[in-house]
Structure 1
Amino acid sequence: MITIAERLKIAYDRIAKAIKNSHILGQKVALLAVSKTKPSTLIREAYQAGQRQFGESYVQEAVGKIAELSDLSDIEWHFIGPIQSNKSAQVAAHFDWVQSVDRIKIARRLNDQRPAERAKLNVLIQVNIDDEQSKSGCSLSEVDALAQYIATSDNLVLRGVMAIPKKSDSLNEQQHSFAKLQTCFNQLKSQYDSIDTLSMGMSNDVEAAISQGSTMVRIGTDIFGPRN
């Protein structure tokens, strides 16, 4: 049976090949291992293989795993799921990054609820890049106001944008969606010095995302296997 370490190597090799094919000078792409629904034992196995950045979507499940793995002090926890108002305090308390902020109300709650003893919370704006009613994320027209609010909040750091585009098997369609987010990212980067993260690309569209400038891809199934 293939191990987590072997799966991680395959994922990193895939990323390296996509970077080479993208011809973007100096491009660096981080791998966020999406560990939602997977037990902490598998996360520990990935950690032992060198992985440090992990993504979770379900607050209660994640908080339990964070506690179980508290001895691994250099893990970086990213929240990537929709944020309900009644769960925002737990997200603010336990995570290092939140990639799914899509409205000022949630940004305000995360800022107000961030514990004083913790470093500022790194934030990505989630953009509904293809205007799908079933998807979370703000519209492109709402990004500027939300970015300004986050950038001026005492306990938040605006780091970039994230999107989950419309599912497609067409490379051209994938690239078209990612190009729109890249344009949004570049505009924000010209306005805010803290912007450095363009989180786009998952197991089925890593190559398209990297070709359009992604700096972070989110991979779950290819590392941990199918969701439970």
Structure 2
Amino acid sequence: MTTIADRLSIAQSRINQAAQKCARNPNEVKLLAVSKTKPANDIIEAYLAGQRLFGENYVQEGEQKILQLGEEFNDIEWHFIGPLQSNKTKVVAEHFDWMHTLSREKVAKRLNDQRPPHLPPLQVCIQVNISNEQSKSGVDEQEVFKLAQQISQMPKLKLRGLMAIPTATDDINLQQDEFSRLNTLYQTLKQQFDTVDTLSMGMSGDLDIAITNGSTMVRVGSAIFGSRT
């Protein structure tokens, strides 16, 4: 039976191969291990195998793990990658290093106001609804730059880039279209804001095509930690 360390190695190899295939430096693509619903012991096992970036989808679960592990494993970089209601922003502002799913000015203001002064700015990505699905969070493509400008005025937030969850499909052409459009948005945003360096897109099933289209961070969960209960 494969271990978490084995599966981390396999995921990293996939990233390296995908990057090399499109003539990119594999070091340009970071692996975010999505540890939602998994116990702290699994995170420790991944940590001992060298992993430092972990993504959590649920506010309270993420807070509990950070409080449990934060002192001993203080070089973990915690990423919040789930939907965030405005009444739960305080936990993210106080405990996480990154927030990937920012799509409203109201939430941005709350995160900025609630970020403790002793912490560095919260690193944020704007979530784009690149598939235009009503069931998904995120801003429309044309709203990205307005929200980016608003975030840039908030001193306790640092705009790092874009994040998206494309259509769940086996249609390669549709995947290619959505990833390509997101990369175009990202490249334009980079030209306007010098803090932008992150394109968070691609998961276990589509990380290869995401990397081909410029992803700098892929989010991998079950392929590392096993299926979720």
TM-score (norm 1): 0.98
- Equivalenced residues, count: 228
Q: CA deviation at 1:25?
A: 6.2
Counterpart residue identity of residue 186, structure 2:
F
Matched residue, 2:134: 133
Whether 1:146 and 2:147 are equivalent positions in the alignment is yes
Native 8 Å contact 1:15 1:29 kept in 2: yes
**3-state DSSP class of the match of 2:126?**
strand
Matched residue, 1:65: 65
Whether 1:86 and 2:87 are equivalent positions in the alignment is yes
Query: Is there any run of 5+ residues in structure 1 with no aligned partner, and where?
Result: none
Matched residue, 1:55: 55
Native 8 Å contact 2:20 2:26 kept in 1: no
Q: Report the Cα distance in structure 1 between the residues aligned to 2:203 and 2:58, rounded to whole angstroms.
A: 18
Matched residue, 2:112: 111
Percentage identity across aligned positions?
56
Matched residue, 2:223: 222
Matched residue, 1:40: 40
Q: Report the Cα distance in structure 1 between the residues aligned to 2:138 and 2:115, rounded to whole angstroms.
A: 22
5 Å matches for 1:72-221?
Answer: 72-221=73-222
Q: CA deviation at 1:24?
A: 3.6
Q: 1:5 to 1:179 in 2, by over 3 A?
A: same
Q: CA deviation at 1:22?
A: 1.4
**3-state DSSP class of the match of 2:192?**
coil
Root-mean-square deviation (Å): 1.0
Q: Report the Cα distance in structure 1 between the residues aligned to 2:25 and 2:124, rounded to whole angstroms.
A: 26
Counterpart residue identity of residue 185, structure 1:
Y
Q: Report the Cα distance in structure 2 between the residues aligned to 1:11 and 1:99, rounded to whole angstroms.
A: 21
Q: CA deviation at 1:28?
A: 1.1
Moved over 4 A (4+): none
Query: Is there any run of 5+ residues in structure 2 with no aligned partner, and where?
Result: none
Native 8 Å contact 2:130 2:182 kept in 1: yes
Quick check: 168-177 or 28-37, which moved more? 168-177
Native 8 Å contact 2:78 2:97 kept in 1: yes
Q: CA deviation at 1:171?
A: 2.1
Whether 1:29 and 2:16 are equivalent positions in the alignment is no
Please give the per-residue CA displacement for 1:165-193, whole angstroms capped at 9, x wherever unaligned.
Answer: 01111222211110010011001000011
TM-score (norm 2): 0.97
Counterpart residue identity of residue 65, structure 2:
K
Native 8 Å contact 2:16 2:26 kept in 1: no
Native 8 Å contact 1:175 1:211 kept in 2: no
Q: Report the Cα distance in structure 2 between the residues aligned to 1:88 and 1:219, rounded to whole angstroms.
A: 24
Q: Report the Cα distance in structure 2 between the residues aligned to 1:119 and 1:60, rounded to whole angstroms.
A: 22
